[in-house]
A and B are shown apart, each in its own frame.
Chain A
């Protein structure tokens, strides 16, 4: 049995992504007066969806136990695929917003950055609290389980 659940792993990745997004927001705000600066965005949600999908696909394959029907080579390939760590594939994408909204080439809108910041911080706090709760319940299990 694995000690960490999928939720713990996914929340961890999402926290990393949100932290990077917070940095992008900070750097956009710092450059609010820099002529020619274009705002940067961090995107990672679709990657998390992909990871979750792939993970559930693997679970399905395991449940069907379809390995038996395959020849040795494909079996090895399948086992390698199943054993692969999906979570390490995660790398948030940094993209440049090329919309032109002002004459000096700068497209930072402070209002938008502040809203994004509030949202990012809220999501980060929620996820961090959830992550903490998950570990607390894991601890409860460890404490009360076993023994007599």
Chain B
């Protein structure tokens, strides 16, 4: 009986948890205008991207050129980057990994608030470019995707316990 369905589900749950952490960090820093050391500097919004992981144990004909390889090719796993070309590999992925946590390319917006301690001479302040609605949407998608993965793990557990009754 192969139990790697649980690993796949766990990888999905972990990835969604990372997304949730990043969303929480964005929300917590919605008004942050200084860095950790107290020097002025606006908090930069973070985003997560994922990549799927494929097992490369059995295959020699795996199209390597388009993919990032982690570890030894003969025994390790292959991590596919975001290119579309990998879609045609007829192989079930071993789950998902967090590819990177990226800084937003559009990090701040400027508001007028002369009473703010970090306001410049004209009364303008740079604040993080965080959209509450967007973060809320990310939060809900992450939590629902987490739930979907957990449901699959639960159902698989039921399947296995039924099989044990044979």
Interface residues of A (CB under 8 A from B): 15, 19-20, 22-27, 29-38, 40, 42, 93-96, 98, 105, 110, 113-114, 117-118, 121, 124-125, 128-129, 131-132, 135
Contact = CB atoms under 8 A, between A and B. Distances in A.
Interface of B: 1-2, 4-5, 8-9, 11-12, 15-16, 19, 49-52, 80, 82-84, 86-96, 141, 144-145, 148-149, 151-153, 155-156, 158-159, 162-163, 165-166
Given A23-B2, A27-B92, A94-B90, A36 B162 contact: no
B38 to A, nearest CB: 35
B11 to A, nearest CB: 6
A31 B11 CA distance: 9
A140 B93 CA distance: 43
Contact of B52 (A19, A20, A31, A131): A31
A40 B149 contact: no
B19 A29 contact: no
Majority SS of interface residues in chain A?
helix
Given A24-B92, A26-B156, A117 B165 contact: no
Q: Provide the main secondary structure of the chain B interface.
A: helix
Contacts of B141: 33
A30 B12 contact: yes
Contacts of B91: 40, 94
A33 B92 contact: no
